[in-house]
Amino acid sequence: MKNTEYIAKVLVSEEQIKARVSEMAAEVNAHYREVGADELIVIGILRGAVVLLVDLIRELDMPLKLDFMAISSYGGGTTSSGNVRVLKDAAEDIRGKHVLIVEDIVDTGNTLQCLLQLLQAREPASLKVCALLDKPARRKVDIKADFSGFDIPDEFVVGYGLDFNSLYRDLPFIGVLKPEYYAK
């Protein structure tokens, strides 16, 4: 039994996620067919995007290389500190390659903006972003994912890879965490 005691409500159900991930995979496939990509480098942003990454790549219909990066801007809190740090860099050489970043959520946009600048300097043929969640109410920079799952309100969410203090990543849905739990 999953620990759902501190979940206030389910924001996005498991069924909705499965359907939208399939739709996003079809969008990604169509885009890379259109640009004539014969191979794709998929960079998953650890740890939150791992669940989405696994489900997404199983539905991609082209050869791909898988890599990971770990970026931190939250520390142990519930809001971004604005200080973006690369904890683990990608190993693949992306120069001249088509690259898809898989991210769990676009919040303020600061982390994604820094990540895009870092990777763009490595001269990929193209650089796109696939994110499960978008929280536009918190955006501080003008940025958005190329392939996006769900727009969500400004609430603290967990599940399907997203966590609070490393818990709740295993929930099959996106849930809103009760404020009294994380405001302690």
**Residues designated as active site:** 107
Show the CA angle centred on residue 86, arms to residues 85 and 92, nearest 5°.
165
Residue 77 to residue 109: CA distance in whole angstroms = 17
Q: Do 175 and 156 contact (CB within 8 A), yes or no?
A: no
Query: Helix, strand, coil proportions of the chain in percent (round to 5)?
Result: 25, 30, 40
